[in-house]
């Protein structure tokens, strides 16, 4: 992770912590995604379709955009929407959220996906896909990954990269299967419990060799900046 990416991640984490304190009285959003909360009531009891329409209108009135609504095998409506902050960074720091609507109500909180886009090099990094607890294996991840790849094609992204941390290692086989299903290469180091994922947009003529050169150049730039900082 670069210094810039690390700084962004810290800001995002702090913002989420403050947000969850305000909404739910809890402090650590990444832990709280694994907890079970009582769903919020539907506007019309048992009417999922009306709730989807209401939620869509409400989100779009706030300036956000609903990208896709799908129904999973459990009869739930899964909404993927993109946040827009109007801060000039919406095309660099992309936040997708997943809202799940059931007949019992709307699940809270919404799951999150954080993407960092390097427009110049047509490179997207998946900083985090936060679908935890009893939300796993319900099709939410596949639905949101479909939207990530759609965004990649729309933005003419050549490469998508990311990493798998040790905290996910208890279900590493499931994670590996998930990414490979969508055309990602996975390199796993079981000794240190760390993995990387890469996706290359061959439709745009991108190659893995070009990606390696891009990553090498990026790493060299970071080392040069670090050495210059030490001299100062």
Domain range enclosing 24:
1-114
Q: Region 16-37: what's the mean pLDDT?
A: 50
- Give a yes or no: residue 124 inside a domain: no
Greatest CA separation for the chain: 65
The predicted pLDDT at position 32 comes to: 53
pLDDT at residue 17 tops 80: no
The predicted pLDDT at position 6 comes to: 41
- Residue 164's DSSP bridge partners are 195
Extended strands (E) in 91-167: 93-102, 105-106, 111-118, 123-130, 159-164
Q: CB count, 10 Å around CB of 228?
A: 9
- Give a yes or no: residue 130 inside a domain: no
Q: pLDDT tens for residues 53-74?
A: 999 999 999 999 999 999 999 9
Q: pLDDT tens for residues 124-150?
A: 999 999 888 889 889 999 999 999 999
Banded pLDDT at 52 (limits 50, 70, 90): very high
- Give a yes or no: residue 99 inside a domain: yes
6-28 in b/e form (b: 16+ CB < 10 A) is eebeeebeeebbeebeeeeeeee
- Give a yes or no: residue 136 inside a domain: no
Number of domains the chain contains: 1
Q: pLDDT tens for residues 148-161?
A: 999 999 999 999 99
């Amino acid at each position: 992770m670069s210094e810039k990416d690390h700084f962004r991640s810290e800001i995002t984490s702090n913002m989420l912590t403050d947000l969850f304190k305000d909404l739910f009285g809890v402090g650590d959003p990444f832990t709280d995604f694994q907890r079970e909360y009582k769903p919020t009531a539907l506007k019309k009891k048992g009417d999922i379709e009306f709730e989807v329409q209401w939620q869509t209108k409400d989100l779009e009135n706030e300036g956000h955009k609903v990208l896709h609504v799908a129904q999973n095998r459990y009869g739930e409506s899964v909404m993927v929407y993109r946040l827009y902050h109007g801060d000039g960074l919406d095309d660099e720091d992309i936040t997708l959220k997943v809202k799940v609507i059931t007949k019992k109500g709307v699940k809270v909180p919404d799951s999150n996906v954080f993407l960092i886009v390097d427009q110049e090099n047509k490179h997207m990094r998946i900083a985090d896909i936060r679908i935890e607890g009893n939300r796993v294996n319900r099709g939410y991840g596949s639905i949101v990954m479909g939207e990530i790849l759609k965004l990649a094609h729309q933005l003419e992204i050549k490469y998508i990269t990311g990493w798998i941390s040790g905290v996910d290692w208890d279900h590493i086989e499931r994670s590996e299967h998930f990414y490979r299903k969508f055309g990602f290469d996975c390199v796993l180091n079981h000794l240190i419990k760390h993995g990387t994922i890469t996706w290359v947009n061959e439709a745009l003529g991108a190659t893995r060799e070009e990606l390696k050169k891009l990553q090498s150049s990026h790493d060299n730039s970071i080392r040069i900046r670090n050495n210059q900082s030490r001299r100062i």
